[in-house]
Amino acid sequence: MKPLCLSLTLVAGIVRATPAQSVIGAPTRSPEAISVFAPSGWSLHIKLDGSGHVQFGSLAGDGGPFKASTFEVDKVVKELQRLRASDKGGIGADFGFTLLWKGKRPIRSPSIRYTRDARVIPALIHRAIDAVPYSFFDRERRALLLKESPPAGRGE
């Protein structure tokens, strides 16, 4: 299996295995976590405190953690909820996101929303990439990945 396919499969598996509640009809509180992915192989996971992890593909060195307060979760949620998105789409073809809500009764899997909007999710991924210390994500490797597989796709 190619690294990109493996990574996207792993991201989808993690998202589907996490107890959650769909973004539709969700309460107006902050989610416990936000996950987004780009068709080019980038994925981003944001925790409630604004920290998280950004990753390209499946190689451990192609990503890293970023500190708390990098993102204001409420603002990210509002941006994602404003996107024209649907339940129909596909990993590797569309941008995707899911909001993972903490609840008393977990459901089997969160609802992944897909969008063709190439502004919001790539901007979130770029912000996370910029926040990862070079000790985790080598400067030259980062530049190469951004050039060859930018979050918004070719011709970003």
User: Contact 47/35 with Cβ under 8 angstroms?
Assistant: no
pLDDT digits (tens, 9 = 90+) for 74-99: 999 999 999 999 888 888 899 999 98
Q: What are phi and psi of 64, to 5 degrees?
A: 175, 175
Q: Partners of 65 in the beta sheet?
A: 53
pLDDT digits (tens, 9 = 90+) for 105-129: 554 456 789 999 999 999 999 999 9
Task: Name the nearest CA neighbour of 124 among 66, 85, 84.
Answer: 66
Task: Name the nearest CA neighbour of 96 among 40, 37, 47, 41.
Answer: 37
User: Contact 19/107 with Cβ under 8 angstroms?
Assistant: yes
pLDDT digits (tens, 9 = 90+) for 27-63: 455 677 899 999 999 999 999 999 999 999 999 899 9
The DSSP element (H or E) to which 145 belongs, if any, is helix 139-148
Choice between 8 and 135, residue whose per-residue pLDDT is larger: 135
Helix axes 120-131, 73-82, angle to 10 degrees: 150
The DSSP element (H or E) to which 113 belongs, if any, is strand 113-115
What is the domain partition of the chain in residue ranges? Answer: 3-148
Cα-to-chain-centroid distance, residue 135: 22
Quick one: pLDDT at residue 1?
Answer: 47
Cα-to-chain-centroid distance, residue 119: 13
